[in-house]
Amino acid sequence: MKEKTNKKISTESYKGVRDFYPQDMFVQNYIFGIMRKVAESFGYNEYGASILEPADLYRAKTGDEIVNEQTYSFKDRGDREVTLRPEMTPTAARMVAAKKREFSFPLRWYSIPNLFRYEQPQKGRLREHWQLNADIFGVESIEAEIEIISIARAIMKAFGLKDGDYEIRVNDRKIMNYILEDFLSLSPAESHSVSKIIDKKDKMSKEDFADKIRSIVGEKSDELTNLLHSKNLEEFISLLPEKARTHQGVLEIKELQNKLAELGIKNTVFSPTLMRGFDYYTGIVFEIFDTNPENRRAIFGGGRYDDLLSIFGAEKIPAVGFGMGDVTTRDVLETYGLMPKYKPATELYICVLEEKYRNYARQLAQDLREDGLNVAVDSSGKKVGDQIKYADKNLIPFIVCVGENEVKNEELKIKNLKSGEETALKASKVYDFLKNKKS
């Protein structure tokens, strides 16, 4: 046998990723369960893909910072350049482009992939996170944005958040393009730089921000700063040149806010500094923003990306979607005291009093499983007191003990470990008894 190193191997996970012990996995499953349920309630169907993608997929539209500084990319043993996906939208677009002739549009798709970014781990940001992606492909009208934002709001509601806990910030890339390219007459490269500065506004001081803007925009930078600081859409419009006041982007934002309000979604706020990082957005962008004074920050967001499919040489397909991450979601649930309380999947523990009744216990467990219960049987052979302690420590709510009396009398005593209450019943009644306790 080849000599093995006897070096002790670390029990730590790789930096910036998480181990999910059953109690953590319970929270993940709770979060994913709500996301899944709401997405499906809107008629969205789940898709999936590998975390490994050809590196080329991200070069066109994901944004230089992410691709050059934040991806996990490497060459495989066959010299192909591959990337651990940093986001899901390019994958979804790739899959839609590959089979677009087979589909009847619109497509309503969702997925809960894990994503990787090489970043310094910090609150709300880890190197690996999971993210609900919900996207509608094939709808040109604003009905797509209305549906997508309705889903985002329905998920917040399903988690227990009230409309007053957050605002839905909206902006339109078309307005920003008009302002940067037409109103300020910036070149495409300058526009791109300014939009990246605006995107990072909250990460720098006001002075820094103004300086950076001035260095590119020049004499009109005050006008830009005033526009960006408008308190609402009306003020913003009033600062625009006359002929731009009915610009398509402006009308879209108005229509979106009005139609959402008719559906009872009244916490939208026009936010001219809202950019969202990705280069592929083409129209409305939005962000769910936590308004808790101690915790003001974006929870998640999305927008319209009508041109992304053209990177595959396919015809354009209009598309709107969003991504909602598990790390920020968990932070929000903690902030608002909305975390679910852990309980194990196991509903009943069967203690074995004597070795010779072990098979009886196993058979009983098997019958109860076929009824639909989750049942563990002792396999330790320890004293009954230790078996009960084990069930209790593992938060299993009920136990029964199997020994001579139980087998002879065909009657079980089922014990609630929390209350101490004991109930005698036939094996065939255990399922009904526990089912009633659950509901």
**Contact stretch for a copy of itself (CB under 8 A) within 89-97, 166-174, 266-274, 283-291:** 89-97
Q: Which is nearer to a copy of itself, 233 or 365 (CB)?
A: 365
**Contact stretch for a copy of itself (CB under 8 A) within 45-53, 283-291, 400-408, 413-421:** 45-53
Let me know: does 303 contact 134? Beta carbons within 8 Å: no
97 is a site residue for a copy of itself (CB under 8 A):
yes
**Contact stretch for a copy of itself (CB under 8 A) within 22-30, 166-174, 226-234, 423-431:** 22-30
- Restricting to residues 198-217, name those near a copy of itself by CB under 8 A: none
In angstroms, give the least distance from the CB of 358 to a copy of itself.
Answer: 7
- Restricting to residues 343-402, name those near a copy of itself by CB under 8 A: 344-346, 349, 358-359, 362-363, 365-366, 369, 372-377, 379-381, 389-390, 393-394, 396
Q: Which is nearer to a copy of itself, 237 or 312 (CB)?
A: 312
Q: Which is nearer to a copy of itself, 20 or 202 (CB)?
A: 20
- Restricting to residues 282-341, name those near a copy of itself by CB under 8 A: 311-314
Strands 114-116 and 128-137: antiparallel
254 is a site residue for a copy of itself (CB under 8 A):
no
End-to-end CA distance of the chain: 57
Q: Which of 298, 317, 359 is nearest to 93 (CA)?
A: 317
In angstroms, give the least distance from the CB of 207 to a copy of itself.
Answer: 27
- Restricting to residues 98-157, name those near a copy of itself by CB under 8 A: 98-99, 104-106, 108-109, 114, 116, 118, 127-128, 136, 138-139, 141, 143-144, 146-147, 150, 154
Give the angle subtended at the CA of 245 by the CAs of 242 and 246, to the nearest 5°.
125
SS3 73: strand
- Restricting to residues 222-251, name those near a copy of itself by CB under 8 A: none
Q: Which of 271, 283, 268 is nearest to 319 (CA)?
A: 283
Burial 12-23 (b: 16+ CB within 10 A, else e): eeeebebeeeee
Q: Which of 17, 204, 338, 424 binds a copy of itself (CB under 8 A)?
A: 17
Give the angle subtended at the CA of 247 by the CAs of 246 and 249, to the nearest 5°.
120
β-partners of residue 101 are: none
Q: Which of 307, 303, 34, 324 is nearest to 148 (CA)?
A: 303
In angstroms, give the least distance from the CB of 82 to a copy of itself.
Answer: 6
Bond from prior residue into 106 cis (ω within 30 degrees of 0): yes
Q: Residue 122 gets which letter from DSSP? A: B
**Contact stretch for a copy of itself (CB under 8 A) within 77-85, 222-230, 411-419, 431-439:** 77-85
Q: Which is nearer to a copy of itself, 16 or 124 (CB)?
A: 16
Q: Which is nearer to a copy of itself, 240 or 388 (CB)?
A: 388
- List C-alpha distances in Å: 395 to 22, 149, 256, 388: 12, 39, 48, 11
